[in-house]
Amino acid sequence: MTAPVLHHVVCPGPAAAPGGADGHRMAYWQWGDTGNPHVVVCVHGLSRQGRDFDALARMLAPHMRVVCPDVVGRGRSDWLADAAHYQIPVYAADMLAMLAQLQAQSPITQLDWVGTSMGGLIGLVVAGQAGLPLPAPVRRLVLNDVGPVVQWDALQRIGTYLGKSGTYASLEQAAAAMWAVSTGFGPHTPQQWLDLSRHMVRPAVAGAPEGPLVLHYDPRIAEPFGALTQQAAEQGEAMLWQLYDRIEADTLLLRGADSDLLTRATAEQMVLRGPRARLLEFAGVGHAPTLVADDQRQAVVEFLT
């Protein structure tokens, strides 16, 4: 399969668009045999979207059903009526709604999770809480450059560009602007970066695909992010460690060796406690590995298959 199929699930909480009072729609991209009982959910980072996983999904799709959601406020999903709801608990609840819909369509007997940055934090909530209505326990968990301790300096760096989208005359111009704040992703060929950027933009004017482009996320996702204080972030670490320590899934921790968000010290703690993650680092990469490079993809494929 060379391209995924787009689906939507209706989740609790009003959307910003007129008529969205009864719920918001979350988009998700599905690869592979829709009847395959082995499902892996791949969840992107803070300002990204589900098509980030195209290269990985093509390798996984022959083995399992690959589901890549656009977290609400991003990609093809609705924007929320209240920006204060752009929070991890809402995102996790949306994932449960999606999994329930997938289970109703075709039963799931094995469930895996790949989460990059924010997607990994959502994975901590889903895999680290007993009693959630999952179709199956999370069997294998990939945490991509994220853990219970998120460095404050990295959050401040992300805050300098989050929600500050401009207007771009072309995809190439947008890709260049995104690369200026994304060099931590590590080496990419021009074509690889263009492919990653393609689904990050939308027409500035609906119905005018040849006109100027803007980033494909609600700039208001920056509001709750900007309201976070260092004290609140540090207080949240204890809760995240509790979630991590409860995880029973076999866990692979990926880390960019130059990451400013996940320190080596935190990664080493994650190897020693909770699910005792296996740690794999990628040289020359910061926050976060994009899972496009061959060695990054192969590590995930081998772990999940």
Residue type, 138: V
248: helix, coil or strand? coil
The pTM is what?
0.96
Q: Rounded CA gap, 126 and 134, in Å?
A: 8
% of the chain residues with pLDDT over 90:
86
Read off the pLDDT of residues 52-69 as tens digits, 9 standing for 90 and up.
999 999 999 999 999 999
Residue count (the chain): 305
Residue 266 CA, chain-centre distance (Å), reads: 20
Tokens of 66: 């690959």
Q: What is the pLDDT of residues 209-265, one digit of tens each?
A: 788 999 999 999 999 998 999 998 888 999 999 999 999 999 999 999 999 999 999
Cβ burial of 224 (10 Å; 0-12, 13-18, 19+) is: middle
Element counts in the chain: helices (H) and strands (E)? 10, 10
Q: Could you identify the residue written with the tokens 């589901």? A: 67
